[in-house]
Amino acid sequence: MANEHRRTLPTVILVGRPNVGKSTLFNRITGSRKAIVTAMAGTTRDLVAERAEWCGVSFRLVDSGGIFGASDDPLQEQVVKRGKQGIASANAIVFLVDAREGLTSADQEVADVVRKTGSPVILAVNKTDDRRGQNRWLEFYQLGFEPVIEIAAEHGIGTGDLLEALVERLPGGRQEAVASGTGRDGGIEELEETAVVIVGRPNVGKSSLVNRLLREERVLVSDQPGTTRDAVDEVLRWRRRQFRIVDTAGIRRSGRVGKGGRVEEVSVIVARRAIERADVAVLLVDAREGLTDQDAAIVGEADRAGCGVIIAANKWDLMKGQGVVSASEFDAEARRKAKFVDYAPLLHISAMTGERLPRLLEAIDRVAAARERRVPTGELNRFFETVTARHAPVSAGRRGVRVLYSAQTGVAPPTFVCFTNVATQFHFSYVRFLTNQLREAFGYEGSPIRLHVRRRRK
pLDDT tens figures, 70-125: 444 444 465 566 667 778 889 999 999 999 889 998 899 889 989 999 999 999 99
User: Where do the DSSP E strands lie in 42-120?
Assistant: 48-54, 57-63, 92-98
Q: What burial class does residue 457 get, using C-beta atoms within 10 Å of its C-beta: 0-12 exposed, 13-18 middle, 19+ buried?
A: exposed
Decide which of 188, 210, 241 is a domain's last residue.
Answer: 188
Distance CA 218, CA 271 (A): 18
Distance CA 394, CA 355 (A): 45
Sequential DSSP letters for 351-394: TTT-TTHHHHHHHHHHHHHHHT----HHHHHHHHHHHHHHS---
Residue 1 domain-assigned? no
One-letter identity of residue 66: G
Q: Pairing relation of β-strands 92-98 and 121-126?
A: parallel
**pLDDT tens, position by position, 395-406:** 766 567 889 999
Mark 30-45 as b/e (b = at least 16 C-beta within 10 Å).
bebebbbbbeeebbbb
**pLDDT tens, position by position, 417-457:** 999 988 678 888 999 999 999 999 999 999 999 999 998 77
**Pair (60, 170) in one structural domain:** yes
CATH number, domain with residue 306: 3.40.50.300
**pLDDT tens, position by position, 185-219:** 444 445 578 999 999 888 898 888 988 898 876 54
What is the domain extent for residue 427? Answer: 377-455
Sequential DSSP letters for 245-293: EEE------HHHHGGGHHHHHHHHHHHHHHHHH-SEEEEEEETTT---H
Map residue 417 onto helix, strand or coil: strand
Say if residue 257's pLDDT is above 70. no
Q: In this structure, are residues 159 and 61 in contact, taking their beta carbons and an 8 Å threshold?
A: no
**Model pTM?**
0.68
Say if residue 18's pLDDT is above 60. yes
Residue 2 domain-assigned? no
**Pair (429, 366) in one structural domain:** no
Distance CA 205, CA 2 (A): 30
How many other β-carbons are positioned within 10 Å of the β-carbon of residue 113?
A: 17
For the CA atoms of 219, 25, 281, 73, the dihedral, rounded to the nearest 10 degrees, stands at: 40
**Pair (23, 52) in one structural domain:** yes
Distances (CA, A) of 411 to 384, 414, 451: 18, 4, 12
18: region left, alpha or beta (phi > 0 left; psi from -120 to 50 alpha): beta
Decide which of 371, 404, 433 is a domain's last residue.
Answer: 371
Q: In this structure, are residues 112 and 68 in contact, taking their beta carbons and an 8 Å threshold?
A: no
**Pair (261, 205) in one structural domain:** yes
Q: Based on the structure, what is the number of domains in the chain?
A: 3
